[in-house]
């Protein structure tokens, strides 16, 4: 049961790894494409038994029917042919969409160090600094700390720091954001003094969008402040190491596809990269070894049971996901036709009751799973959300309300953006009544700044 729950919860990519591990640990399992014809047991029931059946005969008699049933079930499991053009094209598409890892920041910097012909004693300190940078390319240690850690003279550590700071990308080796931006400004032949002054003394006000305050303190016109801000935004990079981050390339592979055929939505659970499993024919050879050894008999019995349960668990996973996805599609017809603003409130308990499973089964079945719909690929768990009552008493999903809120902010006058109270009023005009604190909560969840920071001067 624990294994079945784990298999149900596994996304398709992780399930493949689990199947590979099971194939290595259980000799009774093999890939369907590797399996030859499994001989069908043919006990001679009509012949008289002159002696008690051997352990081999008992084992064959006990499990032969089960093995045949399992093999027939595997044969009738809906699947796409492994050699089909569709599978081939999907595999190539996944490969094409996987981003190139490229060189890391440390590798990029060390290549520059080697090209610069740095003397060995300095190279050792430079290498320490390069591998001490954080993912943004900043250096937290001072030259004094580096010298103490490596037991080298402070001037040598200072020279190493300056060497790294001269590398590309500009801003690498900076102490903080201000230092990073000033380093990049120094690479320009000429920079407006106002721009330099803003970075040196008014960076915090700039981050808070307090442009009038900066204009007042610097005595510069607001238009010039805006020009400097635009220059900084367009030409400087506050995270010079970000381009070298090696994020894990996770290709989203949907477990379910929803297609509209003749006005009706059809749900199809995909096997994807899940291999076809079969019971290995080698079990018959191993059975011979069980004739006079109860320990081997018990070992083989456990392995056969494990193989049976594993195939059943994979089969049940596909069936459960299919049933739950079908119920979701049945309840979300409006979303599938019209988009996220028509997403209906839906609870896991409601789907669990309709499908006839426990709510925890629904939770495991949708965990990490994706569904491909006419509205795009999305996580299955995103279909589940609470609701907010409209003027006519209907429930609207929280996600739909958030989408309305985002649309209102996108369409607002940026020179006079809506406050949260005004956002409440705008939602009311669309028939959605929610409290101000809820608007604030949704706004923050969407990553939308306050009206003060959204204002454009």
Name the band, by pLDDT with cuts 50, 70 and 90, for residue 81: very low
The strand ranges marked E within 191-326 are: 256-261, 264-269, 277-279
- Region of 42 on the Ramachandran plot (φ > 0 left; ψ -120 to 50 alpha; else beta): beta
Q: Which of 179-188, 216-225, 376-385, 409-418 has the lowest mean pLDDT?
A: 376-385
Residues 6+ apart with CB under 8 A from 31: 23, 275, 276, 277, 278
Name the band, by pLDDT with cuts 50, 70 and 90, for residue 155: very high
pLDDT at site 153: 92
Name the band, by pLDDT with cuts 50, 70 and 90, for residue 283: low
Distance CA 192, CA 422 (A): 39
Q: What is the pLDDT of residues 85-144, one digit of tens each?
A: 444 444 444 444 444 455 788 888 988 988 888 889 999 899 989 888 888 888 888 899
- Using CA atoms, how far residue 210 sits from 196, 270, 447, 455, in Å, is 17, 53, 19, 10
The better pLDDT of the pair 217, 16 is held by 217
Instruction: List, in order of start, the domains of the chain with CATH numbers.
Output: 1-37+54-87+271-320+335-364 (no CATH), 105-244 (no CATH), 387-457 (1.10.10.60)
DSSP assignment letter at 208: T
Share of the chain above pLDDT 90, in %: 9
Q: What number is the average pLDDT over the span 298-323? A: 81
Q: What number is the average pLDDT over the span 75-79? A: 42
**What stretches of 77-116 show up as alpha helix (H) in DSSP?**
85-97, 105-115
Name the band, by pLDDT with cuts 50, 70 and 90, for residue 55: very low
Q: Which of 105-119, 144-158, 356-370, 389-403 has the lowest mean pLDDT?
A: 389-403
Q: What number is the average pLDDT over the span 334-342? A: 79
Q: What number is the average pLDDT over the span 306-332? A: 85
pTM: 0.47
């Amino acid at each position: 049961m624990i294994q079945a729950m784990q298999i149900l919860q596994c996304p398709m990519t992780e399930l493949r790894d689990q199947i590979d591990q099971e194939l290595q640990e259980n000799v009774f399992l093999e890939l369907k494409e590797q399996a030859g014809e499994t001989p069908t047991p043919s006990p001679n029931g009509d012949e008289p038994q002159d002696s008690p059946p051997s352990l081999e005969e008992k084992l064959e008699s006990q499990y032969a029917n089960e093995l045949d049933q399992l093999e027939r079930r595997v044969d009738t499991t809906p699947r796409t042919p492994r050699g089909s053009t569709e599978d081939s094209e999907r595999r190539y598409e996944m490969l094409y969409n996987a981003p190139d890892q490229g060189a890391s920041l440390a590798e990029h910097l060390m290549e520059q160090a080697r090209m610069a012909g740095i003397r060995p004693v300095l190279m050792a300190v430079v290498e320490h600094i390069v591998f001490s940078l954080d993912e943004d390319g900043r250096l937290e240690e001072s030259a004094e700390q580096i010298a103490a850690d490596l037991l080298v003279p402070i001037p040598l550590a200072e020279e190493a720091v300056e060497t790294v700071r001269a590398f590309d990308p500009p801003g690498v080796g900076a102490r903080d954001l201000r230092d990073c931006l000033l380093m990049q400004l120094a690479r320009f032949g000429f920079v407006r003094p106002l721009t330099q002054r803003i970075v040196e003394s008014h960076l915090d006000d700039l981050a808070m969008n307090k442009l009038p305050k900066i204009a007042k303190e610097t005595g510069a016109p607001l238009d010039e402040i805006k020009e400097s801000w635009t220059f900084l935004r367009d030409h400087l990079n506050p995270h010079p190491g970000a381009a070298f981050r090696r994020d894990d390339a996770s290709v989203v592979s949907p477990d379910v596809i929803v297609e509209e055929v003749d006005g009706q939505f059809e749900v199809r659970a995909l096997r994807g990269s899940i291999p076809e499993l079969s019971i290995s024919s080698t079990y018959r050879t191993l059975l011979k070894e069980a004739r006079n050894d109860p320990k081997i008999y018990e070992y083989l019995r456990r392995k056969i049971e494990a193989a049976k349960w594993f195939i059943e668990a994979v089969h049940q996973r596909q069936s459960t996901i299919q049933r739950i996805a079908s119920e979701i599609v049945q309840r979300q017809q409006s979303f599938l036709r019209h988009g996220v603003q028509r997403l209906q409130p839906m609870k896991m308990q409601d789907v669990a009751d309709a499908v006839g499973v426990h709510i925890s089964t629904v939770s495991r079945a949708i965990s990490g799973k994706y569904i491909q719909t006419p509205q795009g690929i999305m996580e299955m768990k995103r279909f589940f959300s609470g609701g907010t009552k409209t003027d006519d008493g209907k429930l609207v999903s929280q996600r739909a309300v958030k989408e309305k809120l985002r649309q209102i902010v996108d369409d607002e006058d940026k020179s006079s953006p809506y406050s949260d109270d005004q956002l409440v009023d705008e939602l009311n005009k669309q028939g959605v009544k929610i409290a101000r604190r809820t608007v604030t909560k949704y706004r923050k969840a969407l990553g939308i700044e306050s009206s003060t920071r959204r204002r454009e001067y």
